[in-house]
Amino acid sequence: MSAALGGSLRARIAGFWRWWTQALSTWLPLRLRELFGLARERLLLQPAGEGLRISVEGADGVSPLAELPQLAEGVGDPLASLLVQRVARLPRWLLLPPDAVLRRRLPLPAAAGDRLREVLGFEIERQTPFQAASVEYDARVLGRRGDGQVETELVVVPRPVLEARLAALGAAATTLTGVDVDAGDGEALGVNLLPGARRHRRVDPWLRWNLVLGAVALAATVAGFWQMLDNRRAAADAFEAEVGQAAERARGASAQRQALVDLVEGMAFLQAARAARPTTVEVMDELARRLPDSTWLEKLTIEDTRILLIGLSNEAPALVQRLEGSPLWRSPALAGALQPDPRSGRDRFTLTAELVVAPTAGQTRESARARSNP
């Protein structure tokens, strides 16, 4: 079972390889196909009376090449001196006339297509008057039917007939790659009736060089892709480094911008706070206008919004009344008791008041918001 599956798999791979190379070769001009051996040409040797007709089968069909008279026995390869170098390298096929073979068309299940020759080998004795051991045969697929079966054809040639045809070629018979059958219209059926052991295998002298060049090309391709990938990685690393540097610069610029915003906001706050409260000069001027001439100040302190006055005055009890009503402060009051000063004859006083600070714009908005949302 495993051997059958292996053979089926190899047949499918070989069929796919042939189809793929043929499909690729159709894109090349004929001269290039001939140069690289992709033209799928073969040399057809067809008995014609006492002589031999030589034709070349290629992509454009069968083209007659030459006709030879009767071949002399004991002579070496009679085609070697006749054929030009390019044609001499083509695989040689003997083309049998249609009346030399027996053909039978048989429908088979689609599953039999993978082992077509083996399946039809069991049908030889049922479909032909010959014994399977006395013939050479091959099979081909003609098409697929609508019911899922494949239409096949069994081609059989008696071995004596084949041997007689091969013997007529003389030494050229040993150079044959296969034996095909004339379809009657100048074309070949596409079968090979020559036993596998007798098929001439042509060794391509350039095969080793082609393999070496193919390996070099493959290695160069892999190296090119690897270099391309390495370049992409290097470019990605460089781009990542540039992005990191740009991000670092952006973070630095953002930090500087934030510092500048904080500085501007701080200066604006200080200016707003300074504008919202009276200056020391204004406070001193207002005190000079409200305090009587008999009053001396020893100390004037302004801490935040608190004003502290320490001095001597003959009218100390009336100072609170004189300081009331000023737009620069509010709530003036004496702190502690009056103390007589024996040297000056005046009373020492300590007086406090609170500066009037106008609300800033932010405080005004917050107060308005608080009033609107109780």
Residue 91: which of 145, 37, 23, 47 has the closest Cα?
37
Give burial (CB, 10 Å; 0-12/13-18/19+) of 55: buried
Residue type, 14: A
Clarify whether residues 47 and 151 are in a common domain. Answer: yes
Pull the structure tokens for residue 231: 């370049």
Residue type, 251: R
In a domain, 9, yes or no: no
In a domain, 295, yes or no: yes
CA gap 175, 81 in Å, rounded: 14
pTM of the prediction? 0.47
Token look-up 């609300």 returns 359
Clarify whether residues 113 and 195 are in a common domain. Answer: yes
In a domain, 75, yes or no: yes
Q: What's the distance, Cα to Cα, between the start and end of the chain in Å? A: 92
Clarify whether residues 35 and 168 are in a common domain. Answer: yes
In a domain, 115, yes or no: yes
> Where a domain ends, among 276, 292, 320?
276
Clarify whether residues 58 and 192 are in a common domain. Answer: yes
DSSP letters spanning 213-247:
HHHHHHHHHHHHHHHHHHHHHHHHHHHHHHHHHHH
Clarify whether residues 252 and 302 are in a common domain. Answer: no
CA gap 152, 106 in Å, rounded: 5
In a domain, 7, yes or no: no
* Contact between 176 and 94 (Cβ < 8 Å): yes
Element (H, E) at 170: none
Task: Please tell me the predicted confidence (pLDDT) of residue 75.
Answer: 40
* Contact between 108 and 152 (Cβ < 8 Å): yes
In a domain, 15, yes or no: no
DSSP E strands in 15-162: the ranges are 42-48, 51-58, 61-68, 92-96, 102-108, 135-144, 150-158
Clarify whether residues 223 and 332 are in a common domain. Answer: no
> Where a domain ends, among 219, 253, 276?
276
Helix, strand, coil shares, percent, the chain, to 5:
45, 25, 25
Clarify whether residues 162 and 252 are in a common domain. Answer: no
Token look-up 């014609």 returns 48
Task: Please tell me the predicted confidence (pLDDT) of residue 217.
Answer: 92
Give residue 128's domain range.
25-202
Clarify whether residues 193 and 231 are in a common domain. Answer: no
In a domain, 327, yes or no: yes
* Alpha-carbon dihedral 160, 163, 167, 173, rounded to 10 degrees: 170
* Contact between 271 and 291 (Cβ < 8 Å): no
DSSP letters spanning 96-139:
E-GGGSEEEEEEE-GGGGGGHHHHHHTTHHHHSSS-GGGEEEEE
CA gap 200, 146 in Å, rounded: 40
CA gap 136, 163 in Å, rounded: 11
Q: What are phi and psi of 133, to 5 degrees?
A: -80, -10
> Where a domain ends, among 221, 245, 276?
276
Side-chain-side CA neighbours of 301 within 13 Å: the count stands at 10
Count the domains in the chain: 3
Clarify whether residues 211 and 119 are in a common domain. Answer: no
Clarify whether residues 182 and 291 are in a common domain. Answer: no
Provide the residue-wise pLDDT of the chain in tens; the chain has 374 residues.
Answer: 444 445 556 656 766 776 776 666 666 665 666 555 556 678 787 777 767 777 777 766 777 777 766 554 444 455 555 555 556 677 888 888 888 899 989 888 887 777 888 888 888 888 888 898 899 999 888 888 777 788 889 999 999 999 988 888 877 788 888 898 888 776 788 888 888 888 877 666 666 887 888 899 999 999 999 999 999 999 999 999 999 999 999 999 999 999 998 998 888 877 777 777 788 888 888 888 888 888 888 888 888 888 888 888 888 888 888 888 888 888 888 888 888 888 888 888 888 988 888 776 555 555 556 555 55
- CATH number at 39 reads 3.30.420
Clarify whether residues 62 and 193 are in a common domain. Answer: yes
Residue 34: which of 66, 70, 60, 68 has the closest Cα?
60
- CATH number at 316 reads 3.30.1360.100
Residue type, 292: P
Residue 292: which of 333, 320, 334 has the closest Cα?
320
The sign of the torsion formed by the CA atoms of 22, 5, 180, 37 equals positive
In a domain, 217, yes or no: yes
CA gap 65, 63 in Å, rounded: 6
CA gap 321, 325 in Å, rounded: 9
Clarify whether residues 53 and 180 are in a common domain. Answer: yes
